[in-house]
Structure 1
């Protein structure tokens, strides 16, 4: 039995050799057009590939039931924006922690955390940029202005880092990075609205 988003499909799992063939058939039949798979349950257990093409190794004789859950790109984008709110809070917490460690002269720990903070920030900006491109969002959401401010701040922080002026870096994190991070909340909120508007078109 194959269930997609709560609807049973007329598909005989046994007519396929393995799980990958079932997935291919689901796609070919257009059951997931314009949608993104969020969950796959095989025999009511969550399934995700541990290695590429693992689904090829799962024979259909082992499958009693298959359930696929999906979301529209808009629903997915909307839930991503909620995750981005959490990331903003992580960035704020991380910035505060790094600043404190520099002030306590715990430079090694601070630098390690600072690198993590940079990675999270890079991923965050990448995700925001993708959302913006995917939905051709207008720039009235303030993205460009906040991004420019953020970029010049990071340029300054990189220079300070090279000079190993940890106290100045702590100041920049506390007095400029944290307020700048807060501004992203408004940008994300505006992007959420833009995505809702895009869904109505």
Structure 2
């Protein structure tokens, strides 16, 4: 049996050659419209690809059942948005740690943590951008102001990094980066309100 969220799709397993064909056919139907796949179960066991197109290698005679579970895009976006405040906290702790390490002249460790902090910050900003695209169709001056501030700060920190002025970098992180990232809490609050409204509708 092939099912999506507990409902039979009416498709027969023997119509296909492998698992990938089944999954692609499900994606082509309107079963998952406005939804995000969260889990795939094959023979009642959780399946996720270890390498690209692994599903193609699972032949039909190995399959008795396929179940796809999903959730609405708005619900997923709401869950992710709720986690974003925790990410702001992590960045706050990370920035303080880097500043402390630079001030203790532990440059190697500080640079390693700094790189991780910048990676997390970039991912955070990208995710905020995607979520805003989903939730808000209008311009948001507050978001644009904070985004511009962080962008300018990144440029300044890069210059300071190239000059190897570790104490100035510590100051920028502590007195400019942390307050700038804290201002995203307002943006996250707006996103939460927008997604909560959408989920209730």
TM-score by length of 2: 0.89
Residues 18 and 55 in structure 1, CA contact (< 8 A), matched pair in contact too: yes
The answer to whether the 8 A contact 1:42-1:67 is kept is: yes
* 23-32 or 191-200, larger mean C-alpha shift: 191-200
8 A Cα contact 1:141 1:191, kept in partner? no
Q: Which moved more, 1:138-147 or 1:180-189?
A: 138-147
Question: Which residue of the partner structure matches residue 100 of structure 2?
Answer: 100
Q: What are the equivalent positions in structure 2 for 1:159-170 lying under 5 Å apart?
A: 159-170=159-170
Once the two structures are overlaid, the 10-residue window that deviates more, 93-102 or 15-24, is 15-24
Question: Paired residue for 1:150?
Answer: 150
Equivalent runs, 1:73-152 vs 2, <5 Å: 73-140=73-140, 142-152=142-152
Aligned to 1:13: 13
Partner of 2:191: 191
**Displacement of 1:128 after TM fit?**
1.1
Secondary structure, counterpart of 1:153 in structure 2 = helix
Q: CA RMSD in A?
A: 2.0
CA distance in 1, matches of 2:44, 2:89: 34
The separation in 1 between residues aligned to 2:163 and 2:24, in whole angstroms, is: 55
- For 1:78 and 1:114, how far apart are their aligned partners in 2? 29
Offset from partner CA, 1:2-51 (integer Å, 9 cap, x none) = 22112233222123221112112222332112222111111222211122
Could you tell me how far 1:92 is from its partner in structure 2?
Answer: 1.2
Aligned pairs, how many? 201
In structure 2, distance between residues paired with 1:195 and 1:82: 10
Cα shift at 1:166: 1.0
- The DSSP-based 3-state class of the residue aligned with 2:51 is coil
CA distance in 2, matches of 1:50, 1:62: 18
Query: Residues of 1 paired with 2:27 and 2:115: CA distance?
Result: 40
TM-score, structure 1 normalization? 0.89
Name the SS of the counterpart of 1:115 in structure 2: helix
Partner of 1:46: 46
Structure 1 residue aligned with 2:70:
70
Q: Is the 8 A contact 1:17 1:60 kept in 2?
A: yes
Tell me the equivalent position of 2:33: 33
Please name the residue that 1:177 is paired with.
177
Q: Which runs of 5+ in 1 are unaligned?
A: none
SS at match of 2:48: coil
Residue 198 of structure 1, CA deviation? 5.1
Q: 1:141 to 1:67 in 2, by over 3 A?
A: farther
Q: 1:187 to 1:136 in 2, by over 3 A?
A: closer
